[in-house]
Every structure is written in structure tokens, then in C-alpha cells.
Amino acid sequence: MRGKIGVFLLAVGFFLAGWNSYSWWKQTNVVISSKGMTQSMAANWSDIDEKEAAIQPTKKSYSFTHSEYPKDQLQAGQKIGYLDIPKLESVYPAFWGTDKQTLKQGVGMYNSAATTLPTEAGHTALAGHRDTVFAGVDKLQPGDKIYLRFENHKYEYEIKKTSVTNADDRTVLTKKESPTLTLTTCYPFDFIGSAPERYIVQAKLTGTKAVEKIRF
């Protein structure tokens, strides 16, 4: 009997190890890593036609205050756009919400009273796992560009600072007076288990461009 129990427990152990490995592989493969794609998306900003000049992020010119999909109509896990980080040569699918299941799909957009959609000219915040989609974000530096595509616009942000804070710090997700994009992930990156800190990347909007609406 003990022998059978031992074999059973061993089989369960192999299954769980295999499942965890598959789950990790699946999450890492949601990243669209393409040097050509990221370079092309970044280059588009320097090739904008004079009639399609990038809008500067001033309160007067940044006038869109509504989205085709208001926050209260979005569903957890719904795909809403793409995040492009040329420095990492990666494009990430973005989903609504930051619950456990949503973050398994890719990058999640925070849904809170202090955060907004990109169209609302406030504080847009994204979360991702440190060992999958956001592996490598510690390589980002002030001055690097980040692009967020949402609905029929592409938003260009410039990183202003990176920082580390504790997991309970609620000052990270506060309202902003100017269009801001924040990326958050667990820290330290090599920590095993539930990490006690958060790595923060904060960027400011530098321009927007009208593009063809995303079709999912």
C-alpha cells in the first residue's frame, strides 16, 4: 500500500512540476518579441506627415475625455491594446484588470479610482509579472520611450524615473495632473515566492498619433 501511495505522490509531483513549467512557458510566450516590429513602431513617430503632427500633452490640446469602451463597460481579462517597449525589443498584449487570471495572459491595466484609461489624460498604470512579461524592465532608463496603443490612438511616453518601493505603498497609484504611464512589477527580480517590494517605472506623455483602430 505504501508503495502505491509513494508512486501516486511521485506522479502528482511530476504533474504539478510539468504544469507549472507549462504555465510559465505560456506566459513568457505572450510577448511578441520582434526587433523589426518595435523599431518600425518607433520609427513611425519620426515619419509623421505634417498634417498628422503628434499632439503635445498640454491640457488644452489633449482634449479626448471619453473612450469607446468606458471603464464600467470593460470586462476583466478583456484585451484592450498593446504595450511596446523598443529598448526591450518586445510588444506586449494589454488586458483590462490586474487579477491573477488576467496577469497570466499578459500585461494588465489597473482599474481603480485613481487610475484612468489613456484617453482620459490622467494616470494610466500597468502591471506584469517580473519573471514573464516584465522580465528585463530593470534595463529601462530615463529617456527611453514606451508606446501604448489603445483604440484608435498611439501614445508615446518618455521614462522619467525608476524606483523601488514596498508592496504596501499606495502612493504609487495616485491621481496625476498630467498624462502619466506607470509600470509596476514585483521586486527583487530573483526573489523566490511572494516578493516584498515593487519595481516602478514612471513615464510622461510626449505625444499622440491617430492610427487605425485596433481589431481583436
Burial annotation 61-97 (CB, 10 A radius, 16+ → b, else e)? ebeeeebebeeeebeeebebbbbbbbbbbbbbbbbbb
pLDDT the model gives residue 16:
37
Q: Which residues pair with 198 in a beta bridge?
A: 165, 186
pLDDT in tens, 160-212: 999 999 999 999 999 999 999 999 999 999 999 889 999 999 999 999 999 88
Dist. CA 158–CA 205, nearest whole Å: 6
Higher pLDDT, 51 or 42: 42
Examine the pLDDT at 215 and tell me if it is beyond 90.
no
Question: Does residue 216 lie within any of the structural domains?
Answer: no
Q: Do the beta carbons of residue 82 and residue 94 sit within 8 Å?
A: yes
| Residue 99 structural domain | 31-210
pLDDT digits 0-9 by tens, 9-39: 444 444 333 334 334 334 444 565 555 554 5
> Which amino acid is present at 90?
S
Q: Report if residue 21 sits inside a domain.
A: no
Place of cell 515619419: 47
Q: pLDDT tens across 61-95, in order? A: 454 445 667 788 899 999 999 999 999 999 999 99
Domain membership flag for residue 104: yes
Please give the model's pTM, rounded to 2 decimal places: 0.76
User: Does a structural domain hold residue 92?
Assistant: yes
What total of structural domains would you count in the chain? 1
SS3 category, 25: helix
Any domain includes 19? no
Cell output for 84: 511596446
Given this model, what pLDDT does residue 176 score? 96
What CATH number corresponds to the domain at position 170?
Answer: 2.40.260.10
Positions marked active-site: 129, 186
Q: Please check whether residue 24 lies inside any domain of the structure.
A: no
Give me the pLDDT at residue 1, please. Answer: 56
In a domain, 17, yes or no: no
Residue 6 within a domain = no
Average pLDDT on 45-54 reads 43
β-pairing, 153-166 vs 79-85, is unpaired
Average pLDDT in the 125-145 region? 96
